[in-house]
Structure 1
Amino acid sequence: MELPLGTGTVEASFPDCDVTVADPPGGEAVDPHAAAERAVADPHGPSLAERVAPGDDVAVVVTDVTRATPDDALLDVLLDELRDGGVDRTDVTVVIGLGLHRPMDDGEIRAALGEHADLAVNHDADAAVEVGRVDGCPVELHPAVADADRVVSTGMVEPHQYAGFSGGAKTVVIGAGGEPLIRHTHGPDMLARDGVRLGRVDGNPFRETLDRAGDVAGVDFSLNVTHGPSGILDAAAGDHRAVVRDLAATARAALSVPVADEYDAVVAGVGAPKDANLYQATRAATYVALGDRNPLRDGGRIVVPAELPEGAGQGTGERRFYDRLLGASGAAELYDAMREGYDPGAQRAFVVARVLRDHDVYVTNSESPAVVEECLMHAREGVADAVDPGSDVLVVPDALNTLLVRP
């Protein structure tokens, strides 16, 4: 069968294995631009044009290269709506919500934003300024966002290990935010709390903290989309909480696969843009093992085909992730040590260590096998090299967009 690898695919065969494929319903793809227009015309709450006034400085926070969001189409619609509200294009700043990821280069910005690339600036978490507090933690923002009269965001509402689903206020308060809130929300105390789980929005302390931080940050209007294997499934606009809940329901219906059996191996597909580095690609392993339903038997393994042209990753968070895994003698020891705390970005090492205590992770077909081996995981040339003959195998072709759930 074909599995995603980078922007293409790789052939995978499983001789003498009993293979089950987890294919979610997928939903029906829509045109992103048309869906965004419909959402902005019928938002949750007042329209964007009603929320702005001529002369307002508007900051639009968009996603970075780690999200497959059609930000060019969403910006088209948002800028048209802002113009209808009297806001000139020259009064709009587009901030790329990097969080602690690496900056996007000029070519990547042009590819992501098209004709609107000239409005864009990369976020720098070190330059963020405080605008208020949530749970005693400073909420910091990019200066252009902090100083704006109105704050707007795009986003991708997709399964997220901690927030349940991404998008909404997260694009602003994490993507264009500073280290204090990232440290607070991604620390071991938060990630160990009940309700902080893939696919859960209601009763999720992580999500609730982001939403309250979004109120402090003054997120006025969100335009988000959700997607499945077939493409973009829907868009929603307006109040950031309502937008996430609206699209999470759509995504959950399209992406859930009930799993009753247990397996010796799960092969978890990733593909671009998430398999650019190990930091992002390990989401496939943690989504499988730390979701609603872990389908692995005791001692079962997870196999992730991933190109990894950037190695472990190039941003601050990615470097911290790599350093933690590189310096560890074992997964259990690393997990216990990180329960005492860690720098923002290193949380991915924490959740990977949590998985590695119970399951081996094999990364195949990569350009960076040495990095994989340095990070307590196993590198193999191909998928078949990582699966023992005679195994019961569950193949999840799109692991980041599949919710494995209890029947």
Structure 2
Amino acid sequence: MELRFGYDTGEQIVDIPEKNLLGVLIPNPVEYTRTGAPEVQYSLEHPICSGRLEEIIKPGEKTTIITSDITRPMPTDLVMPLLLDELYKAGLKPEDLTLVYACGIHRMHTLDERKKLAGESVFSQIRCIDADTSNWVHMGITTRGTPVNIVKEVAEAEKRICLGNIEYHYFAGYSGGAKAIMPGVSTREAVQSNHSLMVEPLACAGVLEGNPVREDIEEAGNICKIDFILNVVLDEHKKIIRAVAGHPIKAHREGCAFLDKLYLKEIPKKADIILVSPGGAPKDLNLYQTQKALDNAKYAVKDGGVIILIGSCKEGLGDRTFEEWITQSPNPHSIVERIRYDFQLGGHKAAAIAMVLEKADIYLVSELPDDLVRNIFLTPQPSAQAALNAAFAKLGKDATILAMPYGSSTLPRVKIRRES
């Protein structure tokens, strides 16, 4: 069987013996009546547990819209014209509006990237800026001790609207909702405090209730009050098939429930070999982002197995602290030990990779130099096919395989058999 895995804007093609293949984890079939712009428009006209924007926002109120940066597949350029129409109906003028790209701890955008994200029309109408975390306002502190330090343009707004796409997040449970505020427009100190909660047991993909990271994020979103959200769920082709708008938590929960119907994948058992890709650009820009697919794959691999991670990582490792931790540690276990007493943002990603390495080998198909890949405890492979051949050589010709072409989105879960 020939399978294709997204790799930057292209593909990696792999021939897999059908007798070895336990399954291909593609989205579940779900029913929906609208897609794209009509679905977004419908959500704006039918907000969840909230009034429409024209009922919430008064003419002249300074309103900030927070949206995702270039490392996320959120189609801001499609959503923003519809949102602007609603805001103009509410009596706002272009000078009342600012679009802020939630860069978090990621790099700033180029001018062309900011234009592309917003779309030419929106970019020419309203102010579109990156979140500058060097200029922030302290708004409070959560019960778990996270400082709510928010970039000035967001903190001083009279109304705040958060955009985002909903997918699984390896320790916040899901993306979307208040994540636009924390970590999106928060200082590094604040993000580090929040993310340090990732070491707790319930901080994992697909978990909301009792998840300390998600609860801390949403408390920050209450302190820096979110007035309205507009979140979307994308299919494997990055097309909007569900949009939810309105209350920052209740609307988000409906989006998460839909995501589960689409991407939560029950598997009969774990496999010896996992072939996984984030799905191509922009999710595989660097190893820092590509890691999210790896973390989902860990739920499907047997102890002692091999995960073949397919991602271009054409921009390198993606974070200075992450690079320091993963390149200068003597072995993976030392990273796992370090994160328990010396939590650092960036180091947490290195620790996440190290924890997978304690369970399975990782073969990486990327544009990173082979020496660098070996130095970070991974095994470089020139192609996905070569990686599979190497995995067979290690584990034997009868090794079982699961394929995850959309690994950042799909969450495997071993089916629980109940005795009759």
Structure 1 pair 193–379 and aligned structure 2 pair: CA distance change class (3 A): same
Report the alpha carbon displacement of residue 306 of structure 1 after superposing the two structures with TM: 1.2
| Counterparts of 2:297 and 2:385, CA distance in 1 | 19
Partner of 1:340: 341
Partner of 1:304: 309
Q: Is the 8 A contact 1:139 1:181 kept in 2?
A: yes
Partner of 1:34: 38
Report the alpha carbon displacement of residue 386 of structure 1 after superposing the two structures with TM: 2.0
Report the alpha carbon displacement of residue 277 of structure 1 after superposing the two structures with TM: 0.5
Structure 1 pair 249–376 and aligned structure 2 pair: CA distance change class (3 A): same
Q: Is the 8 A contact 2:65 2:98 kept in 1?
A: yes
Partner of 1:216: 223
Match for 1:23 among 7, 26, 48?
26
Q: Is the 8 A contact 2:161 2:228 kept in 1?
A: yes
The answer to whether residue 10 in structure 2 is matched with residue 3 in structure 1 is no
The answer to whether residue 406 in structure 2 is matched with residue 398 in structure 1 is yes
Report the alpha carbon displacement of residue 370 of structure 1 after superposing the two structures with TM: 3.6
Name the aligned partner's letter for residue 149 of structure 1: E
What TM-score comes out, normalization by structure 1 length?
A: 0.93
| Counterparts of 2:169 and 2:183, CA distance in 1 | 13
Match for 1:117 among 106, 120, 123?
123
| Counterparts of 1:297 and 1:228, CA distance in 2 | 28
Partner of 2:85: 80
Any residues of structure 2 matched to 1:299-378 within 5 Å, and which?
299-313=304-318, 318-378=319-379
Match for 1:278 among 281, 287, 295?
287
Name the aligned partner's letter for residue 13 of structure 2: E
The SS at the match of 2:134 is helix
| Counterparts of 1:307 and 1:68, CA distance in 2 | 16
Any residues of structure 2 matched to 1:250-265 within 5 Å, and which?
250-265=258-273
Q: Is the 8 A contact 2:146 2:194 kept in 1?
A: no
Q: Is the 8 A contact 1:268 1:395 kept in 2?
A: yes
Any residues of structure 2 matched to 1:57-96 within 5 Å, and which?
57-96=62-101
Structure 1: state its 5+ residue gaps: none
Partner of 2:418: none
Partner of 2:151: 142
Structure 1 pair 304–249 and aligned structure 2 pair: CA distance change class (3 A): same
1:300-350: per-residue Cα shift (whole Å, max 9, x none)?
11111111110112xxxx111111000111111111012112322321112
Name the aligned partner's letter for residue 394 of structure 1: L
Structure 1 pair 386–353 and aligned structure 2 pair: CA distance change class (3 A): same
Structure 2: state its 5+ residue gaps: 416-420
1:93-149: per-residue Cα shift (whole Å, max 9, x none)?
111000000111112122211122242111122322211111232101111111110
Q: Is the 8 A contact 1:301 1:362 kept in 2?
A: yes
The answer to whether residue 184 in structure 2 is matched with residue 175 in structure 1 is yes
Q: Is the 8 A contact 1:24 1:255 kept in 2?
A: yes
Name the aligned partner's letter for residue 211 of structure 1: E
Name the aligned partner's letter for residue 398 of structure 1: Y
Partner of 1:207: 214
| Counterparts of 1:266 and 1:312, CA distance in 2 | 22
| Counterparts of 2:15 and 2:7, CA distance in 1 | 15
Q: Is the 8 A contact 1:17 1:393 kept in 2?
A: no
Partner of 1:227: 234
| Counterparts of 1:124 and 1:345, CA distance in 2 | 19
- The count of residues paired between Structure 1 and Structure 2 equals 397
1:246-283: per-residue Cα shift (whole Å, max 9, x none)?
10011100112211222211010121111111111111
The SS at the match of 1:125 is coil
> Please, which moves more after superposition, 248-257 or 372-381?
372-381
Name the aligned partner's letter for residue 91 of structure 1: D
Name the aligned partner's letter for residue 185 of structure 1: N
| Counterparts of 1:180 and 1:120, CA distance in 2 | 25
| Counterparts of 2:115 and 2:96, CA distance in 1 | 20
Report the alpha carbon displacement of residue 367 of structure 1 after superposing the two structures with TM: 4.5
| Counterparts of 2:364 and 2:97, CA distance in 1 | 42
